[in-house]
């Protein structure tokens, strides 16, 4: 006889809200947890709630997911955020941006019809990231709300220490993973806290000084300050981008010293973007919008030693004043400057580019990042390329 647990359960859910519309669900399932049924029922109710919306509505039942405890050497871990278009119009995801390079997003790229489901997949790489973590995905779409923030969190269980592998950089008696403390992409929303390790590779007990040297926007915390042989301690930095008052790629130096006179210099790198709180479609429609007449400047063949010049028109196609926060080429061979920083709605300006080919040969491709107060695209990139000939 078939076991009771294996029997097919028929669940019939009917929701009648008004005489005009309702939600009807009937399905068979085996080995399905009741919570999954309830989740489907919740989606049904949400669909009804959003049915009256004229446009698309993105409904995500859970915007935070805990990955639990994962192993540092266990490889990437993935999770799918499932959402429902509970409105009437077609839903399109425009962009998904991760807060960290350790987090890779994928998403449904096709337009999603009313009543249909889509997904946003996030993959987290725990390698070299022991301890607690919380990473975000900023989702921009044509739905209501226009911007949603998803969060994954959890804890990475550190793998067994192999000093030469885990801490490859030697600094006297100490070892570190890297002299560069990379914070990745951060925003001006709030201070960023990140922790790194210093490992004692000697047979001596090493004591760190109470004070460290760092710029005003970086606070260094070391606890404990005693590093016993074969042990590691945490160096925690609190980075405040509001005090830094810069946008784009930035690099700073901090100095940690031992009581026996050894100095350890670290470079703290980050890419800073302006933070914009979640906005409705109506709020976004009233915001500034930075548009370019082209995003690729191809100089074609260029003689070595010459300077190629070009101008790209940018326009504020939004409804509020546009402000260019910063312009940052990724190479000293490219100079970029604008003729105006503040642009009223409907007005335009010029982005002037100068590509110096001195000492270069062959195909070259560079990038110029433009940071602005456009909440839909606060960072945009112009590609500069050409072929340098002798």
Q: Which residue has the higher pLDDT, 184 or 384?
A: 384
Distance CA 284, CA 87 (A): 18
Average pLDDT over residues 208-226: 92
Residue 53 confidence (pLDDT): 56
Cα 275 to chain centroid distance, Å, stands at 12
d(CA 328, CA 306): 22
Instruction: Tell me the pLDDT tens digit for each residue of 356-365.
Output: 999 999 999 9
pLDDT category at 161 given cuts 50, 70, 90 is confident
The pLDDT, as a whole number, for residue 32 is 39
pLDDT reported for residue 4: 39
Domains of the chain (ranges, CATH numbers): 1-51 (no CATH), 54-159 (2.60.40.10), 163-270 (2.60.40.10), 286-389 (2.60.40.10)
Instruction: Tell me the pairing of strands 296-303 and 379-389.
Output: parallel
Q: State the average pLDDT over residues 247-252.
A: 92
For 57, counting Cβ atoms within 10 Å of its Cβ (0-12 exposed, 13-18 middle, 19+ buried), the class is buried
> Could you tell me if 96 and 60 are in contact, meaning their C-beta atoms sit under 8 angstroms apart?
no
**Four-CA torsion 298, 304, 305, 310, nearest 10 degrees:** -10
pLDDT digits (tens, 9 = 90+) for 278-293: 889 899 999 999 999 9
User: Average per-residue pLDDT in the chain?
Assistant: 86
CA angle (352, 358, 362) in 5-degree steps: 95
**Model confidence at 206, in pLDDT bands (50, 70, 90)?**
very high
Q: What is the pLDDT of residues 15-43, one digit of tens each?
A: 333 333 334 333 334 333 444 444 555 44
pTM of whole model > 0.85? Answer: no
Q: 326-350: per-residue pLDDT in tens?
A: 999 999 999 999 999 999 999 999 9
pLDDT band at 72 (very low <50, low <70, confident <90, very high): confident
Report the alpha-carbon distance of residue 107 to residue 104 in Å, rounded: 10
Contacts of residue 377, defined as CB under 8 A and 6 or more positions apart, other chains included, come to 95, 289, 290
Q: What is the pLDDT of residue 130?
A: 86
74-132 pLDDT, tens per residue?
889 999 999 999 999 999 999 999 988 899 999 999 999 999 999 999 999 998 788 89
Q: How many residues does the chain have?
A: 390
d(CA 141, CA 277): 15
3-class DSSP string for the chain: CCCHHHCCEEEEEEEECCCCCEEEEEEEECCCCHHHHHHHHHHHHHHHHHCCCCCCEEEECCCEEEEEEEECCCCCEEEEEEEEECCCCCECEEEEEECCCCEEEEECCCCECCCCEEEEEEEECCCCCCEEEEEEEEEEECCECCEEEEEEEEEEECCCCCHHHHCCEEECCEEECCCEEEEEEEECCCCEEEEEEEEECCCCCEEECCCCECCCCEEEEEECCEECCCCEEEEEEEECHHHHCCCEEEEEEEEEEECCCCEEEEEEEEEEECCCCCCCHHHHHCCCCEEECCCEEEEEEEECCCEEEEEEEEEECCCCCEEEEEEEECCCCEEEEECCCEECCCCEEEEEEEEECCCCCEEEEEEEEEEECCCCCCEEEEEEEEEEEC
The residue that leads in pLDDT, 208 or 1, is: 208
Q: Token match 């400047």: residue?
A: 297
């Amino acid at each position: 006889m078939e076991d009771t647990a294996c029997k097919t359960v028929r669940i019939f859910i009917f929701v009648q809200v008004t005489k005009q519309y309702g939600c009807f669900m009937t399905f068979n399932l085996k080995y399905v947890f009741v919570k999954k049924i309830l989740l489907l029922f919740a989606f049904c109710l949400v669909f009804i709630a959003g049915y009256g919306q004229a446009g698309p509505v993105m409904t995500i039942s859970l915007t935070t997911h805990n990955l639990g405890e994962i192993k540092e050497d266990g490889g990437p871990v993935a999770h799918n955020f499932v959402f429902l278009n509970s409105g009437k119009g077609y839903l399109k995801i425009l962009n998904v941006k991760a807060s960290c390079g350790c987090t890779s997003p994928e998403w449904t790229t096709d337009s999603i019809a009313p009543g249909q489901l889509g997904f946003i997949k996030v993959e987290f790489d725990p390698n070299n990231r022991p301890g607690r973590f919380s990473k975000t995905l900023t989702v921009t779409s044509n739905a209501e709300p226009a911007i949603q923030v998803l969060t994954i969190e959890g804890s990475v269980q550190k793998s067994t220490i192999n000093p030469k592998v885990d801490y490859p950089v030697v600094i006297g008696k100490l070892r570190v993973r890297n002299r560069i403390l990379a914070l990745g992409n951060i925003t001006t929303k709030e201070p960023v806290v990140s922790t790194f390790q210093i490992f004692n590779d000697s047979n001596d007990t090493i004591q760190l000084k109470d004070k460290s040297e760092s710029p005003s926007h970086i606070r260094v915390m070391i606890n404990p300050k005693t590093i016993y042989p074969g042990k590691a301690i945490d160096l925690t930095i609190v980075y405040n981008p509001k005090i830094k008052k810069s946008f784009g790629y930035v690099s700073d130096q901090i100095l940690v010293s031992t009581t026996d006179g050894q100095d350890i210099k670290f470079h703290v790198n980050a890419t800073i973007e302006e933070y914009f709180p979640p906005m409705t479609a109506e709020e976004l429609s009233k915001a500034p919008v930075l548009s370019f007449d082209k995003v690729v400047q191809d100089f074609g063949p260029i003689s070595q030693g010459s300077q190629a010049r070009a101008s790209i028109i940018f326009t504020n196609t939004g409804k509020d004043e546009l402000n260019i926060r910063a312009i940052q080429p990724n190479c000293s061979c490219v100079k970029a400057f604008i003729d105006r920083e503040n642009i009223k709605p409907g007005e335009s300006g010029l982005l002037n580019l100068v590509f110096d080919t001195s000492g270069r040969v062959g195909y070259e491709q560079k990038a110029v990042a433009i940071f602005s107060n456009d909440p839909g695209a606060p960072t945009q990139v112009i590609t500069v390329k050409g072929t340098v000939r002798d």
